[in-house]
Structure formats: structure tokens, C-alpha cells
Amino acid sequence: MVEKHDAATLDAVGKVTEALETIERARGHLYSFHQLTGWADLTFGDAVKQLEQAGHAEWARRISEELVGLNVLPDRWTFQVVEEYDDGYYKTCRDLERELLADLTDGRRHLQEQQMKAERRTPGRPGHEAGPPSTPPAGA
């Protein structure tokens, strides 16, 4: 039987958590993509009005018809891409990491970092405390 908190298990669980943290960062970039693309679409709309006012009706028409409101992927605006990512890949990653932690670390997160902190801190030194004075138990 494999010990739940042995070094090899904690290393493997740590890798899964590291991967999920990377996915969290990627998700943030996806939200940036969503917001930046939306802002650009609104800015193109403003440009259409300015082109019309400047007497460039044909350019205003083309940008308005060909670009404003254009799907970024077939049949999708960016909010739909974000929703599909969140509901599919991201949810699967997050759920599996939670299940893995529940099974192999009793739901405790960042056990490797906790061990590293214990090894690297100077007990009794200000700023090197083990944790907040009233740390609630995991899962509380």
C-alpha cells in the first residue's frame, strides 16, 4: 500500500497543483483576450462613426459590415469561447485536482509549500511565524 503523504505522492500531487495554477493563469489571459477583443470591437464602432463624419462612407460601411460584430471563431464571440473553456477544460482540471487532493492529502492544499515553509522559516523570528494565530483546520 502506498503511503498518502510520502514524498513521491506529494511531489506528484504538487505537479498537478502546479499545472492547475498554470491553467488559472491561462484562464486569466483568456479573459484578457475576451475583454480586449470586446473593447476593440467597440472602438471599431467608434471609428465607423468618425469615418462617416469625415466623409468616408464606403470605409465606414465596410468596417461596419465586415468587422464590427464579427465572430472571432466560427459561430462564436469571445464570451462563448470563455464559457466553453470554463465549462469544459477548466472545470475538468479544477474538479480533478480537488478530487485528487481529497483522496491523497485529505483535502489539504499546498502540502509541499507547507513543508518548504517549515524548513525555511526561522522559528521565533518576527515574520517567520508558522501561520496565522487561529488557522482553521482544512475543509472547515
Per-residue pLDDT of the chain (140 residues; tens, 9 = 90+): 456 678 899 999 999 999 999 999 999 999 999 999 999 999 999 999 999 999 999 999 999 999 999 999 999 999 999 999 999 999 999 999 999 999 999 899 988 888 888 889 899 889 888 888 765 656 65
Largest CA distance in the chain: 78
pLDDT number for residue 6: 85
pTM, 2 dp: 0.79
The SS3 of residue 76 is strand
| In the chain, domain spans | 7-117
Q: How far is CA 50 from the centre of its chain?
A: 37
Paired with 76 in beta bridges are: 73
Count of C-beta atoms within a 10 Å radius of residue 104: 19
Q: Which residue has the cell 461596419?
A: 64
